[in-house]
Amino acid sequence: MSLIARIVRENGKLSLVAYPRYHLAYSSTQANEKELENDDFRVLNLRNTKEQKAQRQQVKRYPLPPSRTEQMPVGQDWGAVWPGPRTFHPAAVPLPLRQGWVPKGKAPPSKVANTELMKIPNFLHLTPPVIKRQAEALRKFCTPWPEQLKTEEDIEKHFPVSVISSDYCHALPTIRNPLARIVSVKLNLSRLPLDGHAKDKFLRLVGDRYDPETGVLTIVTDRCPLRKQNYDYAMYLITALFHESWVKEPWEDLKMEADMEVYIWENNKSKEMAEKIVQWGQKGNDKPTIAPSFKEAVEQLINEGENDTTLTKYKDEVIKLLQLSKTNEDASEK
């Protein structure tokens, strides 16, 4: 830094007089040193303005009004207070509800500012008086129950097909539940006009969807995204199975007795032998009649296998067929 200095003799002393710029900088440095001596911490003030202390305004607090639950009358219309599904609000429910986990020995949190009560779905809009009022409003759109359908047998006779579906109430971002698309269709197989061949083929096509104890066919569809589509698909399957069961291929006429999947009494020699035994010793060419129970006993014995039930049933039917008395049976056993 170039300085222009000149020596001035004043009263026999030499003095160094600097340029005015240097003089100003020197004087400001002295002022800052004085401030450091007075204050412990120097504050950088860029605008070079004086600090102004703002006076705090006193906030006027008003008394809080009483809660809405304390002002509700006892006989109020709850349907107007809570008309539809909504998030829980403690000021609108005049009930001392508590929800939340706490350690043993302490009471659960109250309903005020309780997130556990706000995040779960509630049914406060479905109280019995509200449900009764809604039912009365919907009654004018309903038809009376038919008088002819008094028993379950009458219902099954006129409506042989049962369709089962489910609706779900859940707390999810979407109103569609994936399980709501599933449709189950139940049908009693005896209501379909099927002969022996068609019924046998129908049962082979449906597999384990048929319950032999109840005689009910159950088809469950869940491949399509919508319930209506799954219902149409189930109806299509039943229609296709029915028509396919009546189709008879040419090779099916070539099946022999050894090719049969089940034992059929009428197609085997057991029927001829039973007729000869019954006709033995009788005069005339009349064809003997054999009880259907004997036929069922023989088929059940061969198809299901030998066990106590099938053997006992077959034994009783043979005794009836040979017209043996109980006394002769006991004597033969001794």
User: Rounded distance, CA 193 to CA 242, Å?
Assistant: 9
Spacing of C-alpha 276 from chain mean position: 63
pLDDT score of 14? 44
Q: For residue 189, which of 169, 174, 203 has the smallest C-alpha distance? A: 203
pLDDT score of 40? 62
Tally of CA atoms within 13 A in the half-sphere of 221 that contains its CB:
19
pLDDT score of 117? 92
Locate 175 and state its tokens.
Answer: 């109103």
pLDDT score of 333? 55
User: Rounded distance, CA 237 to CA 234, Å?
Assistant: 5
Sequence-distant (6+) residues with CB within 8 A of 271 are 265, 290, 295
Locate 99 and state its tokens.
Answer: 């929800």
pLDDT score of 271? 79
Q: For residue 265, which of 218, 317, 331 has the smallest C-alpha distance? A: 317
- With vertex at residue 192, the alpha carbon angle to CA 190 and CA 194, rounded to the nearest 5 degrees, is 95
Using the structure block, give the residue that is written with the tokens 């909504």.
86
Q: What is the mean pLDDT of each run of 10 residues along the chain (334 residues)?
A: 43 44 46 55 67 70 87 89 91 91 89 90 91 93 89 89 90 83 94 89 92 93 95 96 93 76 77 78 68 83 85 86 64 54
Locate 40 and state its tokens.
Answer: 């412990």
User: Rounded distance, CA 111 to CA 120, Å?
Assistant: 13
The region that residue 6 occupies, defined by phi over 0 for left and psi between -120 and 50 for alpha, beta otherwise, is beta
Sequence-distant (6+) residues with CB within 8 A of 263 are 298, 299, 302, 303
pLDDT score of 176? 83
Q: Which helix (H) or strand (E) holds 13?
A: strand 13-17
Residue type, 154: D
pLDDT score of 93? 92
Could you say which DSSP state residue 67 is in? Answer: P
User: Rounded distance, CA 233 to CA 329, Å?
Assistant: 58
Helix (H/G/I), strand (E/B), else coil: 71: helix
Q: 117: burial class by Cβ within 10 Å (0-12, 13-18, 19+)?
A: buried
CB of 273 closer than 8 Å to CB of 295:
no
User: Rounded distance, CA 168 to CA 117, Å?
Assistant: 21
Using the structure block, give the residue that is written with the tokens 């129970």.
293
pLDDT score of 303? 82
Q: Which helix (H) or strand (E) holds 195?
A: none
